[in-house]
């Protein structure tokens, strides 16, 4: 049996996660995939099918625009060729993380997120207090020609200080969900991303 082709990109992400718990890969998604995903997100927005994001889970779920102001759509397999291509890339990364770091990641959940101008997401951790399945967060950006003076950075609160990532289309940020506090700063233009989580087995505590 031959091993699947090993992509250099997933190797870099695995090394970064093992060494520092996070990874930023600039302009790594295929350009046509980034464009197709951005178009799909905008089309869903225009059709009114993005819903205000909530905070918390289960019965504790609430919509609080003072905490996060993005609008979202959860990806389902088969909803579009672009979404399926993205989910396939993520599954490749999931398998690589399991093989090399023994992470035991079982599945991936992911949503489009559209932040209107001025919207933000306050400092938070991605792992819920009452559900510890989320292990690794992956954010992919879908914004062409992002300029730093447009705001909208993802601010990571690392052990040695803050680090801002620009939401430039085609870039990926991957980090350990339970460990890295982060926030989305407001932007003066619409900001599109795909936010996703590799989950372990387990369940609500
Ligand atoms: C999230 C999140 C970051 C981003 O949805 O939990 O932190 O840059 N998103 O969109
Ligand atoms: Mn988050």
**In the predicted structure, residue 28 carries a pLDDT above the cut 60:** yes
Ligand 1 pocket residue status of 110, Cβ below 6 Å = no
> Is the CB of residue 37 less than 8 Å from the CB of residue 142?
yes
Residue 156 lies in a domain: yes
More confident residue, 66 or 46: 46
Ligand 1 pocket residue status of 171, Cβ below 6 Å = no
Q: pTM of the entire structure?
A: 0.93
Q: Are strands 22-25 and 161-165 parallel, antiparallel or unpaired?
A: unpaired
Nearest to 29 by CA among 115, 106, 95, 87: 87
Ligand 1 pocket residue status of 72, Cβ below 6 Å = no
**What value does the mean pLDDT take over residues 88-116?**
96
DSSP category for residue 9: H
CATH of the domain at 194: 2.60.120.620
Query: Is 23 in a helix, a strand, or coil?
Result: strand
**Interval 109-130: pLDDT, tens:** 999 999 999 999 999 999 876 7
- The C-alpha atoms of residue 135 and residue 105 are separated, in whole angstroms, by 8
Q: Please name the residue that has the structure tokens 């991303």.
A: 193
Residue 23 lies in a domain: yes
Residue 101 lies in a domain: yes
Residue 12 lies in a domain: yes
- State how many domains the chain has: 1
Ligand 1 pocket residue status of 121, Cβ below 6 Å = yes
Laid out side by side, the sheet with 161-165 consists of: 121-124, 182-184, 154-158, 161-165
Nearest ligand to the CA atom of 71: 1
> Is the CB of residue 136 less than 8 Å from the CB of residue 96?
no
182, 196, 199, best to mutate for ligand 1 pocket (most atoms within 8 Å of CB): 182
**In the predicted structure, residue 140 carries a pLDDT above the cut 70:** yes
Residue nearest to atom 1 of ligand 1 (CA): 195
Which tokens sit at 50? 């993005």
Residue 131 lies in a domain: yes
42's enclosing H/E stretch is: helix 31-46
How far CA 173 is from CA of 80, 120, 129, 182, in Å, comes to 23, 17, 23, 12
CA angle 7, 8, 12 (to 5 degrees): 125
Residue 57 lies in a domain: no
Q: How confident is the model at residue 2 (pLDDT cuts 50, 70, 90)?
A: very low
Tell me which residue range forms the domain holding 153: 4-52+67-200
Ligand 1 pocket residue status of 38, Cβ below 6 Å = no
**Interval 179-188: pLDDT, tens:** 999 999 999 9
Neighbours of 111 (CB within 10 A): 19
Nearest to 198 by CA among 141, 137, 139, 111: 137
Atom number of ligand 1 nearest to Cα 183: 7
- The C-alpha atoms of residue 143 and residue 166 are separated, in whole angstroms, by 10
Residue 60 lies in a domain: no
73's enclosing H/E stretch is: strand 71-74
Residue 61 lies in a domain: no
Ligand 1 pocket residue status of 165, Cβ below 6 Å = no
> CA-based diameter of the chain, in Å?
53
Nearest to 108 by CA among 194, 179, 186: 194
Nearest ligand to the CA atom of 152: 1
Residues 6+ apart with CB under 8 A from 147: none
């Amino acid at each position: 049996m031959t091993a699947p082709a090993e992509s250099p990109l997933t190797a870099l992400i695995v090394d970064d996660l093992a060494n520092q718990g996070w990874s930023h890969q600039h302009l790594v998604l295929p350009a046509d995939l980034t464009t197709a995903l951005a178009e799909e997100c905008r089309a869903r927005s225009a059709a009114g099918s993005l819903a205000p994001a909530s905070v918390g889970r289960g019965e504790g779920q609430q919509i609080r625009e003072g905490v996060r102001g993005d609008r979202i759509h959860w990806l389902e397999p088969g909803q579009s060729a672009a979404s399926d291509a993205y989910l396939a890339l993520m599954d490749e990364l999931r398998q690589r993380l399991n093989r090399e770091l023994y992470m035991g990641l079982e599945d991936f959940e992911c949503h489009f997120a559209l932040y209107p101008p001025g919207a933000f997401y306050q400092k938070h951790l991605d792992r819920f207090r009452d559900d510890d399945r989320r292990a690794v967060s992956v954010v992919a950006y879908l914004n062409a020609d992002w300029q730093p003076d447009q705001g909208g950075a993802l601010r990571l609160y690392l052990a040695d200080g803050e680090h801002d990532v620009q939401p430039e289309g085609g870039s990926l940020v991957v980090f350990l969900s339970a460990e890295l506090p982060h926030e989305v700063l407001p932007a003066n233009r619409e900001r599109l991303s795909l936010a996703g989580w590799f989950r372990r087995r387990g369940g609500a505590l």
